[in-house]
Amino acid sequence: MKKVLFLIGILSLATAVLAQEEEKSNILFDGSSYNFLFSWKKKPAESHWTGLTFAFSGLNGLDKENVDLRLNRSYSIDLNLIDYNVPLHYHWLFVTGLGFDWSRYHFKGDVGLQDFNGTSRFLPDSEGRSYRDSKLLVYYATIPLILEYQKKVGKRKTFFINGGVEGLINLYSKSQVEARTSRNGIEKIAYKDLNILPVNFRLVLRTGFDDFGIFGYYQPYSMFQKGKGPELSSFGIGIALH
Amino acid sequence: MNPLKKIFFLIAFLPAYLFAGAQNDLNIETIFQNHGKQKGAILIELAKDVLGGHTQISRYKSLILPSDTGVIKATTNAIRQDLKNGKVLMENKKDGKIETGYYCLEKQDSPDYEYILFTDKSRKITLIYLRGKFPPDQLESELNKLKDLFIKVNNKHIKL
């Protein structure tokens, strides 16, 4: 009797354990069991916009001003601080946010960008001095409206491509020349109020894998107010780290 | 009987009592068993082998059937009987009949909550049983996680 009770106890315990372990997934269609495949897909949660970019920059329209750009010293650095993402689908993401752009353009020759009767123009030094350096600095806050596509490649890598529009809000701008003085010295002269548009936009494109990408931008409209400056629009290509 | 032996038998039988399957005692299990294999029925049972690591739902069982007055009546009766002291989380009625209902069953001596979901729409009945360690205010969040689960059966994709 004791043995029977003991066996019943063990059997009950075993049944309880097996009952837990036996729960397996199963699908029946019209009463027939089928094998099935499953996968969990998550909508993308993070974009590849925030981070740091460095691009060599150029200016369209400079040839009309008979001015050349020092390409190796003309660049922009972007620091994209905040993004807000809206997952649209399992591979698509809408991105907006806030970043900053520091652009600088160095010019060849003895001309600098300065205001002349309310219009910004490339002009030589009023005292006929030569310039060691002539540059234009333009700083923007950037607000993107971007669509991004992401796809897993292999087990760990994620390919991405994003593009769209970045709004530009001009925060600061100045033109600066370094004129050689008669005493072999250098005089720095800055010119502000250059009639740069307070708000503008550019088209951007970024692609890469995981935290590294290639970045490019193109500004379709001039950075200066119409009729108050040269028709110059910026473009650039570089790298991005996220 | 020796007190030690009494304690042993109690311990041996206790798991059976606890784990015999809270769901096995439910009246809706009859609906799953009686109609899960009929023509036109889709019965999906998901356990930790599919759900684990992605959601707090530990057991998911759903039955989709063409709408039938007899089955609807039996199902709603079964739900009422299982609900007992449970909670009606949401119930939408149309012409006096339940169109959509979300129910949380009375919590047993277990960390798991049990839910029954029922819809009678577009000429189809859907009966769902869920079990998991999440309270009713997280039910919607856990159901939303199931939207990320893609199942392929017989060259057809099923979305929960």
Q: Per-residue pLDDT for A50 more than 90? A: yes
In a domain? residue B10: no
Averaged over A13-29, what is the pLDDT? 67
Name the residue with higher pLDDT: B97 or B128.
Answer: B128
Chain A contact for B7 (CB, 8 A cutoff) = no
Residue B7 has pLDDT above 70, yes or no: no
pLDDT tens digits along B30-88: 999 989 888 889 999 999 988 988 999 999 999 999 988 888 999 999 999 998 889 99
What's the whole-number mean pLDDT along residues A63-87?
93
pTM: 0.66
Q: Mean pLDDT for chain A? A: 89
Is pLDDT larger for residue A9 or for residue A119? A119
| Domain-wise residue ranges, chain A | 49-241
Indicate the pLDDT class of residue B10, thresholds 50, 70 and 90.
low
What count of other Cβ atoms lies within 10 Å of the Cβ of residue B112? 16
Arithmetic mean of pLDDT, A95-109: 96
Is B36 part of the contact surface with chain A (CB cutoff 8 Å)?
yes
Q: What is d(CA B108, CA A242) in angstroms, rounded to the nearest whole number?
A: 49
Which of A13, A28, A35 is the closest to B43 by Cβ? A28
Task: Specify whether the CB–CB gap between A176 and A137 falls below 8 A.
Answer: yes
Region B134-146 average pLDDT:
92
How many domains does the structure of chain B reveal? Answer: 1
Most confident of A38-52, A156-170, B12-26: A156-170
Bridge partners of A135, per DSSP, are: A106, A176
Instruction: Choose the closest CB to A5 out of B9, B39, B48.
Output: B9
User: Looking at the domain assignment, is residue B60 inside a domain?
Assistant: yes
Half-sphere exposure for A31 (CA within 13 Å, toward CB):
6
Cα(B129)–Cα(B149) distance, integer angstroms: 17
Residue B66 lies in a domain: yes
**Residue A211 pLDDT > 60, yes or no?**
yes
Mean pLDDT of A46-58: 95
> What was the ipTM of the complex prediction?
0.75
Test mutation, A28, A42, A91, chain B, max B CBs within 10 A:
A28
Q: Which residue segment(s) compose the domain that B147 sits in? A: 21-159
Residue B128 has pLDDT above 80, yes or no: yes
Tell me if A19 and B152 make a contact (CB, 8 A cut-off).
Answer: no
Provide, rounded to the nearest whole percent, the portion of chain B with pLDDT above 70.
Answer: 85
